[in-house]
Structure 1
Amino acid sequence: MDIEAKILIVDDEERIRRLLRMYLERENYIVEDAENGEMALEMALEKDYDLILLDIMMPGMDGVEVCQELRKTKATPIIMLTAKGEEANRVQGFEVGTDDYIVKPFSPREVVLRVKALLRRSSSTKFLQTDTGTKDVLVFSHLTIDNDAHRVTVNDSEINLTPKEYELLLYLAQSPDKVFSREQLLKDVWNYDFFGDLRTVDTHIKRLREKLNKVSTEAANMISTVWGVGYKFEVAKE
Structure 2
Amino acid sequence: MSSSPTVLVVEDEDSFVEALTVGLGREGFRVQVAKDGAQALDLFDAVDPDLVLLDVMLPKVSGIDVCRELRSRSQVPIIMVTAKGAEIDTVVGLEVGADDYVTKPYRMRELVARMRAVMRRSPNGETPAPPADGGEVLQVGEVVLDPERHEVRIRGEEVALPLKEFELLALLLAHAGRVLTRDTLIDRIWGHDYVGDTKTLDVHIKRLRAKVEPDPGNPASIITIRGLGYKYAT
TM-score, structure 1 as length reference:
0.68
The aligned residue for residue 85 of structure 1 is 85
User: Counterpart of 1:203 in structure 2: which amino acid?
Assistant: R
**Residue matched to 1:102:** 102
Matches within 5 A, 1:22-61: 22-61=22-61
Confirm or deny that 1:137 pairs with 2:134. yes
On the 8 A contact 2:11/2:17 being kept in 1, the answer is yes
- Structure 2 counterpart of 1:17: 17
> Against the structure 1 CA distance between its residues 199 and 162, is the aligned structure 2 distance closer, same or farther, given a 3 Å change threshold?
closer
Asked if 1:115 is matched to 2:115, the reply is yes
**Alignment partners' CA distance in 1, 2:161 and 2:32:** 24
- 1:203 maps to 207
Distance 2:87 2:119 in 1: 24
Measure the CA separation in 2 of the matches of 1:160 and 1:43: 25
Flag the 1:186–1:25 CA change in 2: closer, same or farther, 3 A: same
- How far apart in 1 are the matches of 2:174 and 2:221? 21
Query: Contact 1:96–1:203 (CA<8 Å) still a contact in 2?
Result: no
Deviation at 1:53, TM superposition (A): 0.3
CA drift at 1:18: 1.8
User: 1:92 and 1:24, CA in 2 relative to 1: closer, same or farther beyond 3 A?
Assistant: same
Give aligned-pair identity as a percent: 33
Q: How far apart, CA to CA, are the structure 1 residues paired with 2:115 and 2:97?
A: 16
- TM-score, structure 2 normalization: 0.69
Secondary structure at 1:139 match in 2: coil
Distance 1:186 1:91 in 2: 20
Q: 8 Å contact 1:99–1:162 — kept in the other structure? A: no
SS of residue in 2 equivalent to 1:109: helix
**Does 225-234 or 23-32 show the bigger shift?**
225-234
Match 2:220 to one of 212, 215, 226: 226
User: Which amino acid is 2:173 matched to?
Assistant: A
- Shift in alpha-carbon separation, 1:192–1:171, aligned structure 2, 3 A: farther
The CA deviation string for residues 142-188 of structure 1, in whole angstroms up to 9 with x for no partner, is: 6443xxxxx65349xxx9864422442233133124477xxx76994
Mapped contact 2:209–2:222 kept (Cα < 8 A): no
Give the conservation status (yes or no) of the 8 Å contact 2:178–2:232. Answer: yes
Contact 1:176 1:232 in 2 (8 A): yes
Q: Matches of 1:186 and 1:95 in 2, distance apart?
A: 21
Consecutive unaligned residues of structure 1, counting only runs of 5 or more, are 146-150, 210-224
Q: Distance in 1 between matches of 2:133 and 2:73?
A: 28
Q: Tell me, in whole angstroms, the C-alpha distance in 2 between the residues paired with 1:73 and 1:110.
A: 28
Which sections of structure 2, spanning at least 5 residues, go unmatched?
A: 139-143, 153-158, 191-195, 213-218, 225-229
Cα 1:123–1:233 change in 2 (3 A) is: farther
